[in-house]
Amino acid sequence: MFLRTLKLTLAYDGTAYVGWQRQPTGASIQQVVEEALAPFMPGAPPPTVTGAGRTDAGVHATGQVASVRVGFDHPVDAVQRAINIRLPLDIRVRRVEVAVPSFHARIDARGKLYRYRLATAPVVLPMDRWFVWHVPEPLDREAMREAARALVGTHDFAAFQATGSSITDTRRTIRRIDLVQAGDELHVAIEGDGFLRHMVRIITGSLVDVGRGRHDPAWVAEALAGRDRQAAGRTAPAAGLVLERVDYGQAPDGR
């Protein structure tokens, strides 16, 4: 049987979904994309679409990457158009590429960039409410930047992982954390080789606690060293988080 591997780059508003991964109840991004691909392969089992990151319920993406093995040879631009016709408007396939047969969106990923949006104005516009965390009080940006510096590098991030996770290797590398003012929003951009469940949201929640003056910047380093989830800050709401980019070591076609 003819098979080839496609690399999909997707954007989605995660508000209405239980996250990327299929769940026993509720619609997932993975499920909806697989259903949109199924008509391309009549009579065959539904294709499995593997995402680079398993974004949680309510988390969004502008640069999620997925891989799928398919048994058709339609031009990629035609595939993109056909999938988008079948998808709801809150999910879009931005690009379809032919990849080497062995390409795996999750295993081959070398890094990810997440952005968290904090709305700092007194009032949030209604159309923004599903995409930001509203933090209207003054934030000490310099204290937040000082706290963030302790997290850059390779560390054991057990204190910044959601409780109940089955992951035992909690060492990860954060390459950079940037705090960027964008109008009435403060963006926390975090780039690393991989992330634990809720890790970006817990880091953001902890930095906001520092910015509010509830803790000094050294508290974040102490929480990191202690490896205890209870020592770190709150988990920031899902709505403010966006997966912006997934990085790979080479082009999907092997070049």
Give the Cα separation of 75 and 66 in Å (integer): 18
pTM of the model: 0.94
* Three-class secondary structure of residue 227 per DSSP: coil
Over the Cα atoms of the chain, what is R_g? 19
Q: What is the pLDDT of residue 253?
A: 56
Residues forming the active site: 56
pLDDT in tens, 169-203: 999 999 999 999 999 999 999 999 999 999 999 99
| Tokens, residue 131 | 């995409």
| HEC per residue, 54-90 | CCECCCEEEEEEEEEEECCCCCHHHHHHHHHHHCCCC
* CB of 227 closer than 8 Å to CB of 156: yes
Fold annotation for 110-244 = Alpha-Beta Plaits (3.30.70)
DSSP annotation string for 6-27: EEEEEEE-GGGSSBSS--SSS-
pLDDT higher than 90, residue 3? no
Region 13-40 average pLDDT: 96
pLDDT higher than 60, residue 251? no
pLDDT in tens, 48-69: 999 999 999 999 999 999 999 9
Average pLDDT, rounded, for the chain: 95
Region 210-237 average pLDDT: 97
Instruction: Enter the CATH code of domain 4-107.
Output: 3.30.70.580
**Taking the domains of the chain in order of start, what are their residue ranges?**
4-107, 110-244
Q: What is the pLDDT of residue 13?
A: 98
Q: What is the pLDDT of residue 129?
A: 94
